[in-house]
């Protein structure tokens, strides 16, 4: 996977048209990673009007990169690292800040964001494949935010996720 070029605090920007109902979950999915004790931190998101020129930004739209997934992490990769990219949340889903049901097209903001921010962090799924494919192998992997996002609601890091981020940073 592609990790951040440097550790430190990463700041995500979103346009002021980013839905207000999703902002708590966006913040929660970012700052959840700060509980790991690693050298990588995520600031609370900022909202600005106008064209999004920021290196690390969130967009509430559909990108054909994401296929049927509710979220997608598009890193601006250079070699084995990146310095930002776009976090897409699929506006074809109904978004909630609570229990999700992806097969019914109902997505929890924090579950999806904490997973996609895990990809920006440099963590892969416990198996190869898309964000909504596959089967987790171990109990820890099943509880990881990096396991498949269509099998339940997971808003908090588990031991597997903490081990991953503290190994990388």
Segment lying near Zn ion (by CB under 5 A), choices 52-60, 106-114, 125-133, 135-143: 125-133
Which residues are CB-neighbours of 84 under 8 A, at least 6 positions away?
A: 10, 54, 55, 56, 57, 75, 76
Segment lying near Zn ion (by CB under 5 A), choices 23-31, 83-91, 127-135, 137-145: 127-135
Size of the site for Zn ion (CB under 5 A): 1
Q: How far is the CB of 125 from Zn ion (least distance, A)?
A: 6
Q: How far is the CB of 53 from Zn ion (least distance, A)?
A: 26
Segment lying near Zn ion (by CB under 5 A), choices 5-13, 27-35, 43-51, 126-134: 126-134
Q: How far is the CB of 77 from Zn ion (least distance, A)?
A: 16
By the rule CB under 5 A, 131 interacts with Zn ion: yes
By the rule CB under 5 A, 114 interacts with Zn ion: no
Whether the CA torsion 118, 122, 125, 130 is positive or negative: it is positive
By the rule CB under 5 A, 107 interacts with Zn ion: no
Q: How far is the CB of 126 from Zn ion (least distance, A)?
A: 10
Is 25 within 8 Å of 97 (Cβ atoms)? yes
Q: How far is the CB of 49 from Zn ion (least distance, A)?
A: 30
Q: Calculate Rg over the CA atoms of the chain.
A: 15
Q: Which of residues 15 and 140 has its CB atom nearest to Zn ion in the complex?
A: 140
Question: What is the dihedral angle through the alpha carbons of 110, 111, 113, 119, rounded to the nearest 10 degrees?
Answer: 150
Nearest Cα residue to 115 out of 152, 61, 76: 152
List of residues contacting Zn ion (CB under 5 A): 131
């Amino acid at each position: 996977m592609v990790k951040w070029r440097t550790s430190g605090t990463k700041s995500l920007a979103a346009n002021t048209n980013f839905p207000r109902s999703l902002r708590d979950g966006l913040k929660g999915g970012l700052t959840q990673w700060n509980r790991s004790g690693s050298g990588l931190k995520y600031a609370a998101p900022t909202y600005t009007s106008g064209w999004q020129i920021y290196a690390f930004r969130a967009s509430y739209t559909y990108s054909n990169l994401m296929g049927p997934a509710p979220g997608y992490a598009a890193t601006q990769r250079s070699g084995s690292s990146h310095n930002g990219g776009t976090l897409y949340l699929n506006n074809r889903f109904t978004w909630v800040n609570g229990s999700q049901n992806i097969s019914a097209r109902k997505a929890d903001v924090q579950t999806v964001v904490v997973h996609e921010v895990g990809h920006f962090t440099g963590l892969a799924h416990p198996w190869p494949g898309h964000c909504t494919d596959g089967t987790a192998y171990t109990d820890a992997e099943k509880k990881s935010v990096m396991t498949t996002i269509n099998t339940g609601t997971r808003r908090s890091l588990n031991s597997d996720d903490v081990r991953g981020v503290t190994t990388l940073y």
